Structure 1
Amino acid sequence: MPPELSNSETSLQWQDEQGVPHRLVLTDKIFLGRVCRGIEPDKCIIVRNPTVSRDHAVVRLTRDGVEITDLSKNGTWVNDVRMAPGASRQLADGDCISLGGTAIIRISHPQAAPLPSATDTWGEQTAIKPAAAFITSLVADVRGFTAFSQHAESADVYTFIKAIFARFTTIVNAHHGTVKDYIGDAVFAFWEHPDGCAGDYAVSACQAAIDQMRSVPEIHRQLIRRGLTVEPPRLGWGLTSGLITLSHFGSRSADLALVGDCVNLAFRLSSMASKTLPGPIVMCAQTASLVSARLPLVDLGNQSIRGRAGEEHLFGLQVT
């Protein structure tokens, strides 16, 4: 340990390509990336891997503690949970950051790697890495939102949907999921299964759906306190599990793409829950197989789904 660094100082630690440990004190900001061009050597950590973006993430001290912001195309993970593209989150002592599926950086005590030279070719282009992943998807769909939007003031519509999205996002984060998108009147979140088809992640997604459902009465009371005369929000939840391809369609870091049939199915199920299907939380057979030993389910049988060939064996999640 270099003598000038104190154990009481906030810092990062990592290993370079040769396995040599480093420590870097965090006094303001530390930039993480493949190039970080123009950043002073004591303000950045260079990770020479083509899946790491040139400017991948930034860790900063804030009034509330230590915060990381994702700037990448291939993703930033904190404690094996993918951050939403472009999002920020608080870090705690001992948290581990992973860049693009590589380079583990721990919140503790490290030292900077050198900047690349002017002739370094790593800065040309980030290698986008399409990857297969097993995920559990959760889609929460607001009922009657189009009709409400047609007659309500835009400010009221904003307050209504923001209250739902904010609470639901907090719940997803609490259950270690990632919010992918807010699409119209729906919230789309997912849980990656880094160890393959594992039940714990699917159970976390189901528990998030339950907690979201249970939060709706308080959201309604919150809206009433803000002066909105609205009916209690009505929603449906769809849960699916399966293999997807995770990559990008566009040039922005926020253009994360999750492509797979199970994602499409989650949206379909959320629109059918409590409408053509009984119960507010509906899941596919794959998800049911992962959670049936730990959560009470109702067999809904084989069901036809609009726009899809054949039938799907579906299950409902019992909530008391």
Structure 2
Amino acid sequence: MSSDTTTRGPNLQWQDENGVAHRLSLTDKIFLGRVCRGIEREKCILVPHPRVSRDHAVVRLTRHGAEITDLSKNGTWVNAVRMAPGASRQLQDGDVISLGGRSIRISLPNLTPQPESDNWMEQTAIIPTAVCITSLVADVRGFSAFSQKTDSTVVYTLIEAIFSRFSTIVSAHQGTVKDYAGDAVFAFWEHTGGLAPEHALSACQAAIDQLHSVPEIHRQLTDRGLAMPLPVLGWGLTTGQITLSHYGSRSAGLALVGDCINLAFRLSSMANKTLSAPIVMCRQTASLVEWKLPLMDLGEQEVRGRSGKEHLMGIHMMPERIDRPGHDHNQPQ
């Protein structure tokens, strides 16, 4: 690394905490962060600030020029504008990247985009794929009213505790957390080789474990002196085919598109509200788990925003555990 601020090729320039000027040539990728684990010192810019993530962002050359991808928890700014979490954006000569109070200027002299036929950089093909999943959405009841009359730090502490515990439960049952949407947690289980009861059962067990965890979450928060009522939530479970891909500017943004996902959100808003059951599922999900779970028939129900009616089922009682599917002769084939 050099304190000289002139160079012939693309580079990043900044001053450290002592005011010493530095320059790092951009030949492929430069990583920005507090630690940059496993990265050669010549390939990273370390910013020792508590609000800077260990692996905060990466600047790379592409066939179109240079781009930055945000990897942080607290945000990255380009020309004083915050990037969307996980987003990528093109960089121009003279753009200034800001993180943790450090300003890093990018210099792109004589850099011209490569033609599409050039094989200078191999591009990853992103192909939309049709897959079957079981979706699980957990939604907090009365969240808007609670937020309106409660200090924002208490609201944040409650939601953070719920999201953290629920995410741990999803991971324990081999599911994937897709999104935290306001006051809802959306997770999914991908079926391989056709619809499989074990994946739907895993999603159901995750919902049951999440339900059982709510009183403990509440107790821990009240023990810390946070006054709040016991949270009430609703869970929606659906199974069906979706299209899985990526779109938009967020390279880390996995896109799941399908009617069953929309239905899962709708069912979560009905559970423990217009329907007495805390965990509500579509008939497809029920057909995969009814051999193992005691279900109650909720009948044909109108679902807001949808035409016709949906045949819905709920879990009749909340067992602590579901026996995992194995060599059960009663298991559907």
TM-score (structure 1 length as normaliser) = 0.63
Tell me which of 292, 298, 316 is aligned to 2:314.
316
- 1:72-103 per-position Cα deviation (integer Å, ceiling 9, x unaligned): xxxxxxxxxxxxxx79xxxxxxxxxxxxxxxx
SS at match of 2:292: coil
- 1:5-30 per-position Cα deviation (integer Å, ceiling 9, x unaligned): xxxxxxxxxxxxxxxxxxxxxxxxxx
- 1:113-137 per-position Cα deviation (integer Å, ceiling 9, x unaligned): xxxxxx9827253321110010000
Query: For the structure 1 residues 226 and 37, does the alpha-carbon distance in structure 2 shift closer, same or farther, using more than 3 Å as the test?
Result: same
Greater RCO, 1 or 2 (C-alpha within 8 Å, sep 6+): 1
Query: Which 4+ stretches in 1 moved above 4 angstroms?
Result: 36-39
- 1:244-289 per-position Cα deviation (integer Å, ceiling 9, x unaligned): 0011221222321110000000000000001111210000000001
| Displacement of 1:37 | 4.8
1:147 is the counterpart of 2:122: no
1:1-320 alignment runs, 5 A limit: 37=28, 121=119, 123-318=121-316, 319-320=318-319
* Counterpart AA for 2:218: H
Q: Any stretches of 5+ residues in structure 2 without a counterpart? A: 1-26, 31-37, 40-57, 59-70, 73-116, 320-333
Structure 2 distance, partners of 1:199, 1:138, is 15
Q: Any stretches of 5+ residues in structure 1 without a counterpart? A: 1-35, 45-70, 72-85, 88-118
SS at match of 1:127: coil
SS at match of 2:126: coil
SS at match of 2:195: coil
- 1:162-207 per-position Cα deviation (integer Å, ceiling 9, x unaligned): 0000000000000000000000000000000022110000000000
Structure 1 distance, partners of 2:233, 2:179, is 17
Structure 2 distance, partners of 1:251, 1:192, is 24
SS at match of 1:308: coil
Structure 2 distance, partners of 1:205, 1:241, is 10
| Displacement of 1:226 | 1.9
1:31 corresponding residue in structure 2: none
Structure 1 distance, partners of 2:275, 2:238, is 15
* Higher alpha-carbon Rg: 2
SS at match of 1:125: coil
